[in-house]
Structure 1
Amino acid sequence: MQLTGNTILVTGGTSGIGRAMAEASHARGNQVIVAGRRKGLLDEITAANPGMAGIVLDIADPGSIAATAREATERFPNLNVLFNNAGFMPFDDAGAPVDDTVAHDVLTTNLLGPIRMTSALIGHLKAQPRAVILNTTSLLAFAPLASAAVYSASKAALHSYSMSQRYMLRDTSVRVQEIAPPWVDTDLVPAKGDARAMPLAAFVEQTMEKLALDDEEVVVDFVRQARHSIATDGSTPSSRA
């Protein structure tokens, strides 16, 4: 992925990885549009980053997705990067009754959200000379965390979808890259001093470097060995937990 000269729409851009990546991209001179549910946070972020734009988006609402796609392309006709980052991670117990409402919300946000957002923009992206779809999955897409089974499954499904999407877009101007974070110290799952969590600033720095290499699957050095082990034997301690 070229790291400059883009117009980038970031879903889930008001906190955590989304906000940090949005600000890092903005600092490189890209036009960045952050999208999220909380207008107050959008206003705060755009005020702190002059030139950045904000659009209210409820990624779980197909009508809001359609409206965001229309507004983004009308205001920013050069939009060429969609960063599907919105998501949330509740804990659960797959060995007991699962809360159906929570499971539905996780799949709607983490899986259907990126599918619907991309569907709303794919025609526009394919018309650009160069375009990129970035899908945020997780290391848990490859080795699930037993105590977050539905979240892990949603990310595994998005990983699979990304592979199919990449193949179907192989003869177009649109590239598909997948960012698979480890546990990063954000408000998604705060580390509270746990050394197993990667600092957010280090994650963003390494991710930007690897995006520039055009890797299809972006995995930071912090967990590259773990990802290699998963690919080799199909299991890790978290998947066996």
Structure 2
Amino acid sequence: MNTTGNTILITGGGSGIGRALAEAFHQRGNQVIVAGRRQEALDDVATANPGIATAVLDVTDVADIDRFTQEIARTHPGLNVVINNAGIMRAENWAAENVDTATAHATIATNLVAPILLTAGLLPLLRKQQQATVVTVSSGLAFVPLAVTPTYCATKAAIHSFSESLRHQLKDTTVDVVEIAPPYVQTELMGAHQATDPNAMPLAAFIDEVVQILDTQPNAEEVLVQRVHPQRFAAEKGQASYKEFFAKVNGKR
């Protein structure tokens, strides 16, 4: 993926990693469109970054995804990069007598179904471009899960798998598939406390390293900052290493 000269759509672009990526790519001269459910958050991004375009999208609404993909094809026919970043992460208690599955339903709809449907809807447009990229955002937790957020971790593991298969199927087309797997980053994904958690990677440092990887490794299939490497490759070091890292993430019980 080139880091300049693109028209880039970023879902979940109103805050966190999505907004930071949008601003970084905008500063490099790309045309950036941020999409999200909250107009107020989108307006804040556009005000702070003149030139960034915005579009309202509810990724959990199948009909709205269909409307949105048609609208983007009309308003931004040169779109050549889509970054499927929108996501939610919530704790669940599967040891409870009655498990509340509402969180699981919402997480699967947002984190897994939405990027699959949005990618499908935009592929006809992307394939018209001389060079295009589908970017998925998984997580280090796709490889070693945080047990308190089981559905979130499952959706990120599924996104990793989907990315692998999509890349293989599109290998003879002009569309590349790039997966970004963040570590624990200082955002508000699980609440305001996360944004200042010293155990999390500072957001600016994460974005800087991601862009550096894309700059220096334009053919990268996975974008992995150094901080996520132990988690990403824990299983490849053997079962003992994996169990040790799992215990580190989840605490020994």
TM bucket (normalised to shorter chain) is over 0.9
Q: Could you tell me how far 1:117 is from its partner in structure 2?
A: 0.4
Q: Could you tell me how far 1:46 is from its partner in structure 2?
A: 1.0
Query: Match of 2:212, SS?
Result: helix
CA distance in 2 between counterparts of 1:123 and 1:173 reads 11
Q: Which position in structure 1 is the counterpart of 2:182?
A: 181
Q: Could you tell me how far 1:192 is from its partner in structure 2?
A: 5.9
Identity %: 47
Gaps of 5+ in 2: none
Aligned 1:6-155 pairs, distance under 5 A: 6-96=6-96, 97-155=98-156
Q: Could you tell me how far 1:43 is from its partner in structure 2?
A: 1.4
Q: Which position in structure 1 is the counterpart of 2:209?
A: 206
- Cα RMSD (Å) of the superposition? 1.5
Gaps of 5+ in 1: none
Query: Match of 1:133, SS?
Result: strand
Q: Which one-letter code corresponds to 2:237 in the other structure?
A: T
Q: Which one-letter code corresponds to 1:188 in the other structure?
A: L
Q: Does 1:239 align with 2:246?
A: yes
Query: Match of 2:54, SS?
Result: strand
Q: Which one-letter code corresponds to 2:129 in the other structure?
A: Q
8 Å contact from structure 1 (residues 93, 146) kept in 2: no
Q: Which one-letter code corresponds to 2:230 in the other structure?
A: Q
8 Å contact from structure 2 (residues 143, 231) kept in 1: no
Q: Which one-letter code corresponds to 1:164 in the other structure?
A: S
Q: Does 1:221 align with 2:226?
A: yes
Q: Call closer, same or farther: CA 1:72–1:187 in 2, change over 3 Å.
A: same
Q: Call closer, same or farther: CA 1:221–1:57 in 2, change over 3 Å.
A: same
Query: Match of 2:205, SS?
Result: helix
Q: Call closer, same or farther: CA 1:104–1:226 in 2, change over 3 Å.
A: closer
Q: Call closer, same or farther: CA 1:131–1:196 in 2, change over 3 Å.
A: same
CA distance in 1 between counterparts of 2:136 and 2:207 reads 15
Alignment size in residue pairs: 241
Q: Call closer, same or farther: CA 1:236–1:173 in 2, change over 3 Å.
A: farther
1:21-78 superposed Cα distances (whole Å, 9 cap, x missing partner): 0010000000000000001111121121111100000000011111111111211111
Q: Which one-letter code corresponds to 1:239 in the other structure?
A: F
Q: Which position in structure 2 is the counterpart of 1:164?
A: 165
Q: Call closer, same or farther: CA 1:129–1:192 in 2, change over 3 Å.
A: closer
Query: Match of 1:158, SS?
Result: helix
8 Å contact from structure 1 (residues 83, 134) kept in 2: yes
8 Å contact from structure 2 (residues 140, 232) kept in 1: yes
8 Å contact from structure 1 (residues 144, 238) kept in 2: no
CA distance in 1 between counterparts of 2:195 and 2:11 reads 26
